[in-house]
Amino acid sequence: MKPIEELDAVLKALNLNSENPGVSDGESWFGTGKTIDSISPINGQVIAKVMQGSPEDYERLIPKMEEAFCVWRSVPAPKRGEIVRQLGHALRDKKDALGKLVTIEMGKSIQEGWGEVQEMIDICDLAVGQSRMLYGVQTHSERPNHRMYEQWHPLGIVGIISAFNFPVAVWAWNLAIALIAGDVCLWKPASAVPLTAIACQKIFESVLKMNGLPSAISTLITGKGSELGDLLTEDPRVKLISYTGSTHIGKRISERVGKRLGKTILELGGNNAIIVTAKADLKLAAKNVLFGAIGTAGQRCTTTRRVIVEDSIYDEFSDLLQKYYDKVTIGNPINESNLMGPLVDSTAVNNLFTAIEAVEKQGGRLLKKPERLEGDAYSGDCYVTPALAEVDDNLPIVCEETFAPLLYLIRYSGGIQEVIDIQNGVPQGLSSAIFTNDLRESEQFLSATGSDCGIANVNVGTSGAEIGLAFGGEKETGGGRESGSDAWKAYMRRQTNTINWSGETILAQGIEFD
């Protein structure tokens, strides 16, 4: 096993050590839970140790955060935006090292590792502008000399529970917007990627310290999801849970938070399809399908999992796509010439092969059978070749999200509404796309009878959304929205105000009470 070059330099640049406490109240670092190794899927090497948090550690964080909230909620929103602007700059300074650590700890290609940090910077920029645009509406009262308007106030403590596949961006999407909203944030990252979380928390702590602000505005607890997650979801002091992860756990969270009538943002699993009609530019479509299916080794919530192709162009498209598949370079993701790195761990690899068995059992045909890659260049046991399967319909296994590079090719022969119905015929509703140069087809795809997903694109693939508008999906994807547009409203509470300057008591609806 060849050690990862630059590992020491990356750890040093991010103030990480060979052993790291995994809990921070903003001021001090500790961790009285189990110590774990953070292992790189690149080669199975231990990157560093992390002392995870315990329920007792969790209890230490909350009172400090409540105190910090009392200060932060009264800081004017544009001034809160200024702190987020400084965070964006601190991230620019660390972009190279943080992007590399994302790649080392999670396994995505270095281009995508840097891209993820860029997304953090972008959301900070968006949040700075948003901090001056927390608009509430006003309207005319039915009563003379009265005024009515709506305003938005901070919520309090926001719990951010994130998935392994976007180890840093999901935190930033939530944190940047929650901060300008006046909230304070407690982050529980996925257990596979604790070091990137510790690095991010350290970067933001230095910004808070420089500004003399209470450091518990942002806290971190690493550890087991079932143990710490249950504490967070049950705790009425945590006003909003923003959860990104599998639908299975999302349902549990929704139930637990719902029981106490708390708020949630749920960003759950996807099962995203691209429709390719006879009017499509096939090369454009095939390139987008390839990036969508094998980018991040098929481990994005927006990964293209199904491609539904019109009968008359099916064979030509399938041949073209298979040629593209043959050119995919797989290997160490730090090497920029590799398009695909390893899966996150051996469980993910096993899940892929279990799904392949089910595909074959249910009547699917494998056009590209996945293989485990072995040998020195692939140590760590997490490298596979991407899979391509031909299926007749949305088979039971096709309706599931297999979080791996497994793409289903489906043939359709009906009209545009028939193919839209196939596309919509799965429980998830995150991202979707149509490739066509026919205006009628694309408009129908975007209409009320069209795609039922939160994201619907034309001649743009399913993965790689921009932050300017709201991000999220429908049905079993959970209905949450993050990032741009009016997603900020989920991080605040709405208040309707009526002000009487008439000097008289005038009741609404003309009611007399004398």
Residue 509 binds to ligand NAD (criterion: CB under 6 A) = no
Nearest to 424 by CA among 454, 460, 402, 404: 454
> If we measure between CA atoms, which residue out of 41, 175, 161 comes closest to residue 113?
41
235 vs 267, which CB is nearer to ligand NAD? 267
Provide the 3-class DSSP secondary structure of residue 429. Answer: strand
> Active-site residue among 185, 301, 382, 453?
301
Establish if 195 lies at the interface with ligand NAD (CB under 6 A). Answer: no
Nearer to ligand NAD, 39 or 276 (CB): 39
**Interaction of residue 351 with ligand NAD, rule CB under 6 A:** no
Residue of the chain from 233, 432, 444, 463 that contacts ligand NAD (CB under 6 A)? 233
Shortest separation between residue 280's beta carbon and ligand NAD, angstroms: 26
Give me the catalytic one of 112, 119, 267, 401.
267
Helix (H, G, I), strand (E, B) or coil at 277: coil
Of 200, 83, 173, nearest to 119 (Cα)?
Answer: 173
Pair of tokens at residue 232: 């967070």
Does 401 participate in binding ligand NAD (rule CB under 6 A)? yes
249 lies in the site for ligand NAD, by CB under 6 A: yes
Give the one residue of 226, 337, 505, 509 binding ligand NAD; rule: CB under 6 A. Answer: 226
Residue 246, interface with ligand NAD (CB under 6 A)? yes
* Binding segment toward ligand NAD, per CB under 6 A, in 54-62, 137-145, 182-190, 318-326: 182-190
Closest approach of Cβ 106 to ligand NAD, in Å? 10
Contacts 24+ apart (CB under 8 A), 211-215: 211/83, 211/86, 213/71, 213/72, 213/75, 213/83, 214/26, 214/64, 214/67, 214/68, 214/71, 214/72, 215/25, 215/26, 215/27, 215/68
Assess 188 for contact with ligand NAD (CB under 6 A).
yes
Which residues neighbour 469 within 8 Å (Cβ) at sequence distance 6 or greater? 483, 484, 485
According to CB under 6 A, which one of 99, 214, 245, 298 is a site residue for ligand NAD?
Answer: 245
User: Which residue has the closest beta carbon to ligand NAD?
Assistant: 229
Contact region with ligand NAD (CB under 6 A), list: 60-68, 178-186, 187-195, 388-396: 187-195
Q: What is the number of alpha carbons within 13 Å of residue 56 lying toward its C-beta?
A: 5
Q: x/- contact string, 366-395, with ligand NAD (CB under 6 A)?
A: ------------------------------
The mark string for 295-334 relative to ligand NAD (x by CB under 6 A, - otherwise) is: ------x---------------------------------
Residue selected from 158, 160, 163, 356 as contacting ligand NAD according to rule CB under 6 A = 163
Please state, in angstroms and as integers, the Cα–Cα distance from residue 149 to each residue in 129, 487, 504, following that order.
22, 20, 20
SS (H, E, C) 171-236: HHHHHHHHHHHCCEEEEECCCCCHHHHHHHHHHHHHHHHHCCCCHHHEEEECCCHHHHHHHHHHCC
Q: Output Rg (C-alpha) for the chain, integer angstroms.
A: 24
Identify which of residues 182 and 245 has a Cβ nearer to ligand NAD in the complex.
245
C-alpha–C-alpha distance, residues 452 and 472, integer Å:
12
Contact call for residue 403 and ligand NAD (CB under 6 A):
yes
Considering only residues 253-282, where is the footprint of ligand NAD by CB under 6 A?
Answer: 253, 267-270
Query: Smallest distance, Å, CB 38 to ligand NAD?
Result: 14
Q: Could you say which residues in the range 425-454 bind ligand NAD, by CB under 6 A?
A: 430
Instruction: Kindly write down the DSSP assignment for every residue of 295-317, as one continuous string.
Output: GGGG-STT-EEEEEEEHHHHHHH
In sequence order, what DSSP letters do the residues of 340-365 get, joined into one string? B---SSHHHHHHHHHHHHHHHHTT-E
CA pair distance 267, 265, nearest whole angstrom: 7
Using CB under 6 A as the binding rule, whether residue 175 contacts ligand NAD is answered as no
The number of helix segments (H) and strand segments (E) in the chain equals 13, 24
- Euclidean distance between CA atoms 357 and 440, whole angstroms: 39
In the complex with ligand NAD, the residue whose CB is nearer, 143 or 305, is: 305
User: Does residue 161 touch ligand NAD according to CB under 6 A?
Assistant: yes
The reply on whether position 479 binds ligand NAD by CB under 6 A is no
Contacts of 162 (CB under 8 A, 6+ apart): 170, 171, 187, 188, 189, 190, 244, 245
252 binds ligand NAD (CB under 6 A): yes
Minimum CB separation of residue 191 from ligand NAD in Å reads 5
> Tokens 């700075």 map to which residue?
128
Site size toward ligand NAD (CB under 6 A) is 31
Among 58, 69, 72, 166, binds ligand NAD (CB under 6 A): 166
The reply to whether 114 sits near ligand NAD by the rule CB under 6 A is: no
242 binds ligand NAD (CB under 6 A): no
Q: How far apart (Å, rounded) are the C-alpha atoms in residues 513 and 257?
A: 42
Among 165, 222, 242, 394, binds ligand NAD (CB under 6 A): 165
Please check whether residue 286 is in contact with residue 324, taking contact to mean a CB–CB distance below 8 angstroms.
Answer: yes
* Active site annotation includes 301: yes
Which active-site residues does the annotation give? 267, 301
Q: Which residues bind ligand NAD (CB under 6 A)?
A: 161-166, 188-191, 225-226, 229-230, 233, 244-246, 249, 252-253, 267-270, 301, 401, 403, 430, 473, 477
